[in-house]
Amino acid sequence: MNPTSGGPCQGIRNSIPALKKIGVFNEVVSLDEPKESFLIRDDFKINQLGPTKTSYAYSKKLKNWLRQNLQRFDVVIIHGVWLYNSYGTFSEWNRLKKTGVNVPKIYLMPHGMLDPYFQKAEGRKLKALRNRVFWQLLEKKVINGVDGILFTCEQELILARTTFPDYHPKKELNVGYGIQAPPAPTEVQQQAFLKKCPEAENQSYWLFLSRVHEKKGVDLLIKGYRKLYEKDTQIPILVIAGPGMDTEYGKTLKKLAVGLPVYFTGMLKGDQKWGALYGANWFILPSHQENFGIAVVEALACGTPVAISDQVNIWREIDEGQCGVVFSDTSKGVYNGLKEILGYSEEDTKLKERAYSVFQNFFTVDQAAKQLIQKLNIMS
């Protein structure tokens, strides 16, 4: 449940309050250490069974907890694959099932981890090999053995069918995904952001807000920005916000940005984040693979238009809603996307209105919660 680990834990935090409002109560089982400070902020129960000592995250505590508690629930959702929480939960559920006791329905939500990108991307050959081995030995049994696989959007569902052989889940369910409506814009939010990025005061800016990682295509963003800047120094400044600047990739990005009005803020939280999103002219995500893109939807919810690659799985909704720009995840594609952004007026209120409308029509957490219980038949 560590916020720096990406979207799945934030998705869980978004959905639980919405489910509670309609009478569905949740507990989370995580392998975090109980002393982690981020765990005390949640108002739902988290069973903290960590830490684990191996990269596979094997946990005897999890096995014992499942053995004692599984029967208390109506539905169990496994989040993610490739770690022990997936096969460990499935195998314990299957063991109890064979004893003849009543067990809950069990589903798996892969959060994009079955995307073919992860098997084809440069630099992932060893991980791709590991995944193929794990697929044959363990994960294939889970995927084909649980009651169904849950997807956040139709594109994720379609792509998952293309990655591994012998993929035959009992059900494929597009249950959607959503976020809670953001707080209203305030001066406090703006000032909190400006403390992290004072260069943005009285300046137009484009915003990248996500993990700083090779998968996100930030290097292409900076290179494309440099090409534009060399032709027009009056373009908005570029703000890159997110954890990961202490990595080798992060250090490379700083070198790429030398001489440019590109500013790295680190991770933005709370008021800092909302101030950044509300104030941006455009939100930009040139990712090589993005299962859903919670930050994209947060930008829409703030009425901020988005420019994303066609590898962000919700690109169809953006394109059809005419609330942004969609481009390919190549050097040329990113550059052309940035150039297209410049063709829009900064005062294009209709574009901002369409951004918010797409959020309202497709991505509210209340809609996603209702769709989930309908698809799973949790409540009659």
Would you state the pLDDT for residue 6?
Answer: 64
**187-361 matches 3-180+365-376 in CATH topology:** yes
pTM for the predicted model, two decimal places: 0.85
Tell me the Ramachandran region of residue 23: left when phi exceeds 0, alpha when psi lies from -120 to 50, beta otherwise.
left
Q: What is the pLDDT of residues 314-366, one digit of tens each?
A: 999 999 999 999 999 999 999 999 999 999 987 788 999 999 999 999 999 99
CB–CB of 115/160 below 8 Å? Answer: yes
Quick one: pLDDT at residue 339? 96
Nearest Cα to 328, choosing from 306, 307, 308, 309? 309
The proportion of the chain whose per-residue pLDDT surpasses 70, expressed as a percent, equals 99
All structural domains of the chain with their residue ranges = 3-180+365-376, 187-361
Fold of 3-180+365-376: Rossmann fold (3.40.50)
pLDDT digit string, tens, across residues 253-264:
999 999 999 999
Average pLDDT for the chain = 94
C-alpha R_g of the chain: 21
User: What confidence tens digit (pLDDT) does each residue in 191-240 have?
Assistant: 999 999 999 999 999 999 999 999 999 999 999 999 999 999 899 999 99
pLDDT of residue 334: 98
Instruction: In whole angstroms, give the CA distance from residue 293 to residue 183.
Output: 19
Select the CATH number that applies to the domain covering 187-361 from these four: 3.40.50.2000, 3.20.20.70, 3.50.30.30, 3.40.1410.10.
Answer: 3.40.50.2000
Q: What is the pLDDT of residues 23-76, one digit of tens each?
A: 999 999 999 888 877 777 788 999 999 899 899 999 999 999 999 999 999 999
For residue 152, give both structure tokens. 């956040």
